[in-house]
Structure 1
Amino acid sequence: MTRIEIRRRRILVDGRPDLVLAGEVHYFRVPREEWGDRLDLLVEAGCTCVASYIPWLWHELPDGTLDVTGSSRAERDLGAFVDLAAERGLTFLARPGPFVMAELKNEGLPYRLYTEHPEIVPVGWDSRPAPTRTVDYLAPAFLAEVQRWFDAVLPVLAARSAVRGGPVIGVQLDNEIGMLAWVSNSPDLTDGLVDDLGAWVSERYADRPAAGRLVAAARSAGSDPGWWRSLVRTPTGEVAADLRVELGLFMRERFAAYVDALASMVRGAGLDGLPLLINIHGTEGGNGVPFAIGVSQLYRCYAGKEGFAAGSDHYLGDMDRSTTTDIHFVNAVMEAVNGPDQPLTSLEFEAGTGDYEAGLDRLTDACAVDLKVRLCLAQGNRLINYYLLAGGINPPLEEKVGDGNDRISFTGRRHGTAAPIGPEGQRGLTFAATAAVTRAAGLHARWLADHDEERDDIALAFWPDAFLTEYHHPSSEPMTRVVRDLEAHRGPGPHKAMSRSWLFDGWRFSAVDVSDPGRPLPGVVALACGEVLDDGVQQRLVRHVRDGGGLLLLGPVPSTDTRGRPCTTLADALGVSAGERVRSTHRHYGSVRGLGPAAAWGEMRVGWWQELRGPEGAVPLVEDVDGHLCGLGVRLGEGRAAVVAAEVPSSPQLFTLLTEWLGARRGLGLETDVPGVVVTTSGTPAGERMLHVLNPTGYAASVAVTPGDPTDLLERPLAVPPRTGAILALGLDLPCGVRLDSANAELTELCDDGFAVGPGLGRQTELWVSGGRPSCADPEVDVVAAQGRWRVLAPDARAVRLAVRSPAAPA
């Protein structure tokens, strides 16, 4: 029996923190006689866990029976695949849907559901048919069918649960819930859902005065449901702004109710005691900022719920400065809404070359998987599932449907051609890189499973309702006007300037949900927003500043709430008023320059600026070249606010100047000759520490940091090659009985009588050891006593293998 818990932002296995390194292998796409080969490759890649979707579409036969034992075809024997993984010492992460996507037709649902239960099939705006194969998740007929599917598949998993001594360590509930409606902007407006919306709105405002026509309409829905349904599907100007907000809030609660229903089925089937996982969608076209839409949609499903964890699902291609910002943002916004026990995880972690259409349109560099894994681990990810680790062959449907290929997937015969392991089991272009970083993560797992990033007293403000933009009628100006404003300014700011500037100047930060009054705010909060900002958030930011906090506000001065009503609480408290925005054009080249505390910034071209007027004593920060003030500092109560009403580009210098004026200080100094290097530190409860260095650029970088190294080694410049990263010891207790106080090279081997490191980041490899006496068989490697420690020097930055002979301390 194994006890698996989610506590203190960790995955605990029998009380000990564990790092889960998984790879997705689709047993249904691999001939059964080749299952063992794929699992062997997964082990070779350094993974400790195998994950797989379990498609309802694959296991249901044309007569409606469900085969999960392989009676109709060997590749349907789910239990055999899980047992085979267990024989290799692997755990299993189950993803039984009911939706699984995975490039399967109907997203993995049987065809018959749509014909036998037409009431579950939604229409969208203007009663148009949904363009995707989505359903109304809470439709009674759908839930009954899901129960039937779970009754067949869950006992196979329950018999192999880790709680019963088996390999199954977690169950994902559904997949990318709400994604299909978001990407198509076609909400699931079945009659049942729209009627439920009316009841929900009426109850929500039961003790409040009628708030406009929407509430009045909802209250009359019972007597005239047809009129209410028509109003929701084709909203008029009077109700549109309210409907956008209420529909988004309602769907959050509906998704949460759906997840609760699935959780009840899973736990009732004997899988209680295992973590339940939610896969969050959202990256779009190589951009990570829309990921927060998925968080906004789904955080009510899992945030703060015992036994639940959420995982990211991201596809961002090559690792460049934009992708680095995106990955950091994805993890930050997940952490912003997580409960105190919930860890960061990634349930679909892109590992291949990126061309999912089996062509030559994209070829992601192998270094991308290495750098993405390292950044996620530095931020505290406890589970990474490579998707897709192994490709395969799409089997034919049991019944032809005449759709061009008659296979279970729309990708054709071969699937996962970009994966580290190809469809026929060949090692792909990224296999070696994936294996290398996975082995490095596994070697450091004892620390990575139990560490936390050491943060500065700053955070990016995350306002979930800024991403409540998944449903807006395309012809509704009240809806689209608010959505355009939110999309232009939210998250990390225009051009990702705020996050990118902090990240590349050595600030260590995450994000905080500013709409949740139960979450404490750090010393300095940075919010990128447009004219739209809810009154509750504005009030909280005012209190934060008055109580001695700092606020960095980037964007036009907020003037309305999400329903388009005037709302100037923050501006009024700060004494700030704003004029019209002046936008750059092909004839007007708006430029601004720093003043006062920001004077060293100089001058920059901007996309737009907005003239500001502040109270007496306001500190000028930014003005346009004609002298119009567009950035100022305000003192309010015990705190300060810096308001920058201009679309400034990424500028580490500007944002550091402003952040320090607000009272924050960096715990790490960073000097580098290449912009785009990321450094951070992390530590365990036992006081062991690591320095994480990433260079996603194509340039060799000289990197000097001040991480608090007692030996001074890591406070000297490091030479970091292009597109590489490293985990460097800042005091790690090794199994051989010594403490690695510092090293400019990453650990590559750990054993009971010694250890090894790779090439050093400099002219020579250097490390400092205490608590034992290291020795090296290489005569050119010097091991000398110094400062009460042993100093090891290897010429030519070569890899070093050391034996530890005795615990004798140096003289």
Structure 2
Amino acid sequence: MRFSRRRILIDGTPSLVMAGEVHYFRLPRREWASRLDWLLDAGCNAVASYMPWLVHELPDGTIDLDGSTAEHRDVQTFLDLAEERDLLVIARPGPFVMAELKNEGIPYRIYEQHPHVHPVGWDGAPAPTRTIDYLSPDFLGEVDRWYAAIMPVLAGRVAAVQLDNEIGMLSWVSNTPDLTEVVLADFAEWAAERFDVHERYGRWPVGRSPEAPSLAFHHDLSDYMRSRYARYIAFLRERAQAYGVDGPFLINIHGTGDGRGRTYPIGISQLYRGYQGLPQLTSGSDHYLGDLTVGNVADLYVGNAFMAAVHDADQPLTSLEFEAGTGDYGEDLGRLVPPSALDLKVRLCLAQGNRLINYYLFAGGYNWPLDVPSGDGNDRIAFTGERHGFAAPIGPEGRPNLSYPALREVTRTVRGVAGLLADMDEEHDGLALGFVPDHYLTEYRHPGDSARAEVVADLERFRGMGGRDVLARALLLSGFSFPAVDVQAAELPPVLVLAGASTLAAAVQRRLADHVRSGGRLLLAGLLPQRDVDGAPCTILADALGLKPGPVVYGGADRFPSVRGESFEVRVDVLQPLTGAGETLVREVSSGAAVGVEVRAGAGRAIVLACDYPCHLDFWTGLLARLGVRPRHTHDAPAPGIVVTSTVDGAGRRLVHLLNVGPVDQSFVLRRDGEPLFGGSPIRLAARSGAMLPVGVGPVAWSTCELAGLTEDGVLLRRRYPGEAAAFAGPVRAPDGASVSLTPDGLTLVRWTCAPAEPGELAEVRCGP
């Protein structure tokens, strides 16, 4: 496996990798073959697994990888079984693996023999998690010992290796930066190379208890941690290569939670310097969004777009933990994710260019007892009890649950067109969503710093997808297909859409101002920035646009700010009056002050919407139309919930990707650049379903039936409804239950008037007289 042009090449051919996570170490050896066979039955062509240091190391420090002490340690036989089935292997050897294991998969011995590797945080308090100072020489020495054992076993036998797992996650979720004496000394050296530390921080050394306000210190500490993570990743890669593994390598990104992806970019912000621009190394997502709905579909889309924004021209999108089961992780029936969610999420990710998806967890198993009892109440390798993965499509006892049929269906569906998907790119609509990595440097805040808490709250409210997430949601549900761009470093596109917050670095404000003045167009939604990352007043962008922001007005229990655009009044939760140049588009109702304006600056234009306007799709498409951008795909669906994008390859073959994430069935006509697609035939999408419709693929000019594959003399189409049709460039033999006629433009039209025997029925259309 190699990475090139954001594709995964296998034996030089662009390929789609569909994997499932099977934990061999949680199953008896006799069960391994059956779990791999379930993967094959589902249509997967790869298997992934953690390889936990905790499991393979014995109490005396020796390492068993061949099962000589216990069969569940026999990773070599597991690799043999995968090879016999032509399954690619995605190896995940840590050193951290999480997976509900004790110590996150680190042997107890490491903490016992090197207690100093467990860091302290704010005010010298010990870290509440089982994290470790990643760059501690003693820890790195132990990691090298583990890699010296596991990497030669993997060399030449696996397709890719994930380096560690969720780097930086434990310190973020516990608000506990690593602040050992060694780390503080290293940070001091890092800061001294960049700033006059006494001038920037006031008191030096700052230490573990910064005096409030300490905005510059907090920002710089998080930025410094990026460099530590990058050095750690570089160490792991170098040692893996030293022991015979040449990659490619993967870094997984953490951050979804509570069914949302709003904090997901924190993981990107923490880790991107560790992989950005490095050959044969890319990032992969961890997706735990539960259901996919109108409310959170933009979370997934934007998460993928932000990942891609910091990739280079070769680094593909991947997903290393793609939530696949029922969601009943606590075995308490507190949540059940509908199986349709898996279908929707797979389709959306593949439409955005994901080349590898690893269903996590695909098969459950058991947590064996530790070699030495821990006295923690269960004495097993993990804290979930004896059984593990009870929500997985294949349960611990090897039986499929309600999520397996959906997984099998969507995997086999996409494998039917894998040759197309693997070499296609998403088509975009002439605008990009701005990604500000530093807006996500919010993982740490000293508990005594109220100024830091205020800045973080402001960023959390407005960054990324915009206030109430309306900005990104409106773009996606209006039909726009869009990438993201790193506004701190990348070349800015002609039209940029950015969620504004009160804090924005001076350098970024300057880039945006220069962009507009030189002819660029900007939609800034949220607040007009007024301060730099260190808290200093900074209005470079506002000054360039000729605007002066007033005090921010927030709604509350007895205050209901409202604004008026072109039509009626709408309630908002926050607004910022604007004075200065430009045409007023939106006004505050009570004062008449402008809160939305269009201004000209130099050769460019900007629209500043300083309020959290509701998700009225016509309003948002109208704003973008003023900047000269319209979605190429439009439709007349009666209710919100349709997501549409398209992918195309170098030969001009195209797939139109449609999702209905709404709760009702929909029928609509789809248009591209104003012209009806599919001969104007209506498209039907059941609630919570998707379709990939071909345009110019092989003999198919277009089809409202999903393409299931190409045959030697025709195509396979997947039928769901009566009235579906497909047009061909030449003659075809009429399939059962269909009529054949000619269209006005000379295409051969095949139309089925009867319903399929069952939804998803395959119909073969053969070409020729």
Work out whether the TM-score is over 0.5.
yes
Would the aligned equivalents of 1:760 and 1:766 in 2 still touch at CA under 8 Å?
Answer: no
Question: Does the C-alpha gap of structure 1 residues 323 and 560 become closer, same or farther in structure 2, counting only changes over 3 Å?
Answer: same
Tell me how far 1:583 sits from its aligned partner. 2.1
The 1:215–1:441 alpha-carbon spacing in structure 2 relative to 1, beyond 3 Å, is: farther
C-alpha distance in structure 2 between counterparts of 1:203 and 1:582, whole Å: 40
Query: Equivalent of 1:259, from 233, 252, 265?
Result: 233
Q: Deviations over 1:165-215 (max 9, x none)?
A: x4x11000000000000000011112211111111111223xxx5552638
Which residue pairs with 2:622 in the alignment?
657
- Count of residue pairs the alignment pairs up: 763
2:287 to 302, 314, 321: 314
1:224 corresponds in structure 2 to none
Alignment of 1:214 with 2:201, yes or no, is yes
What corresponds to 1:647 in structure 2?
612
Q: Distance in 2 between matches of 1:141 and 1:706?
A: 62
* Conserved? CA contact 1:98–1:146, under 8 Å: yes
Structure 2 residue corresponding to 1:679, chosen from 611, 636, 644:
644
> What is the CA–CA distance in structure 2 between the aligned matches of 1:718 and 1:705, rounded to whole Å?
8
Q: TM-score, normalised by structure 1?
A: 0.92
Return the offset for 1:804.
Answer: 2.4
The answer on whether the counterparts of 2:587 and 2:593 sit within 8 Å (CA) in structure 1 is: yes
**Matching residue's letter, 1:126:** D
Q: 1:216: Cα distance to partner?
A: 6.9
- Runs (4+) of structure 1 exceeding 4 A deviation are 708-712
1:419 aligns with 2:392: yes
Describe the superposition over 1:236-293 as per-residue Cα deviations: whole angstroms up to 9, x where unpaired: 126x222101111110001000000000011111111x21100000112222010000
Q: Deviations over 1:768-796 (max 9, x none)?
A: 1125x432451x31133443332111113
Q: CA shift at 1:529, angstroms?
A: 2.2
Contact 1:232–1:243 (Cα < 8 Å) also in 2: no
- What amino acid is the match of 1:180? L
1:795 aligns with 2:768: no
Contact 1:51 1:385 in 2 (8 A): yes
Q: What value does the CA root-mean-square deviation take over the aligned residues?
A: 1.6
1:145 matched to 2:110? The reply is no
Deviations 1:117-171 (A, max 9, x none): 122110111111101000000100000000100111111101xx2xxxx4x1100
Matches within 5 A, 1:123-272: 123-158=120-155, 161=156, 166=157, 168-205=158-195, 209=196, 212=199, 214=201, 217=204, 228=205, 231-237=206-212, 240-272=214-246
CA offsets per residue over residues 565-622 of structure 1, 9 Å max, x none?
A: 110000011110122122222333221111xxxx25x33110022211022xx11110
Asked if 1:609 corresponds to 2:580, the answer is no
Taking structure 1 as reference, are residues 714 and 505 closer, same or farther at Cα in structure 2, changes over 3 Å only? farther
Given the alignment, which residue of 771, 783, 790 partners 2:740? 783
In structure 1, the residue matched to 2:93 is 96
Deviation at 1:524, TM superposition (A): 1.4
SS in structure 1 opposite 2:207?
Answer: helix
Question: How far has the Cα of 1:88 moved from its partner?
Answer: 1.0
Structure 1 residue 514 corresponds to structure 2 residue 487? yes
Cα separation, 1, equivalents of 2:197 and 2:415: 58
For 2:664, the equivalent position in structure 1 comes to 699
What SS does the corresponding residue of 2:536 show, helix, strand or coil?
coil
- Inter-partner Cα distance in structure 1 for 2:614 and 2:66: 58
Q: Is the deviation greater in 693-702 or in 576-585?
A: 576-585
The reply on whether 1:666 has 2:631 as its aligned counterpart is: yes
3-state SS in 2 of match to 1:69? coil
CA distance in 2, matches of 1:687, 1:710: 18
Segments of 5+ residues of structure 1 without an aligned counterpart are 218-227, 734-738
The answer for the alignment partner of 2:273 in structure 1 is 300
Is 1:501 the counterpart of 2:474? The answer is yes
**CA distance 1:714–1:677, shift in 2 (3 Å):** farther
CA distance in structure 1 between the aligned counterparts of 2:113 and 2:679, rounded to whole angstroms: 66
- Distance across 2 between alignment mates of 1:437 and 1:424: 24
SS at match of 1:345: strand
Q: Which amino acid aligns with 2:661?
A: P
Q: For 1:612 and 1:709, how far apart are their aligned partners in 2? A: 36
Find the aligned partners of 2:764 and 2:597 in 1 and give their Cα distance: 57
**Once the 2 structures are TM-superposed, how far is the Cα of residue 671 of structure 1 from its aligned partner?**
2.4
The whole-number CA distance in structure 2 between the counterparts of 1:645 and 1:631 is 6
Mapped partners of 2:255, 2:150: distance in 1: 28
Hey, what does 2:766 align to over in structure 1?
Answer: 804
For residues 542-571 of structure 1, the C-alpha deviation after alignment (integer angstroms, 9 at most, x for no partner) is 111112111111122211011101100000
- Of residues 721, 728, 732, the one that matches 1:769 is 728
Gaps of 5+ in 2: none
Q: Structure 1: which amino acid aligns with 2:577?
A: E
The TM-score normalised by the length of structure 2 is: 0.97
- Write the distance in 2 (CA, Å) between the matches of 1:708 and 1:608: 36
Q: Residue 135 of structure 1: SS of its match in structure 2?
A: coil
Partner of 2:441: 468
Partner residue, 2:50: 53
Kindly indicate whether the alpha-carbon contact (under 8 Å) linking 1:707 and 1:715 is maintained by their aligned counterparts in 2. Answer: no
AA aligned opposite 2:544: A
For the Cα contact (< 8 Å) 1:706–1:714, is it kept in 2? no
Aligned to 2:706: 746
Is the contact made by 2:344 and 2:659 (CA closer than 8 Å) also made in structure 1? yes
Is contact 2:50-2:93 (8 Å) kept? Answer: yes
Q: CA deviation at 1:510?
A: 1.6
Write out per-residue CA displacement over residues 498-530 of structure 1, whole angstroms, 9 at most, x where no aligned residue: 0000100111112110000xx222221111122
Paired position in structure 1 for 2:378 = 405
Aligned to 2:19, what secondary structure does the other structure show? strand
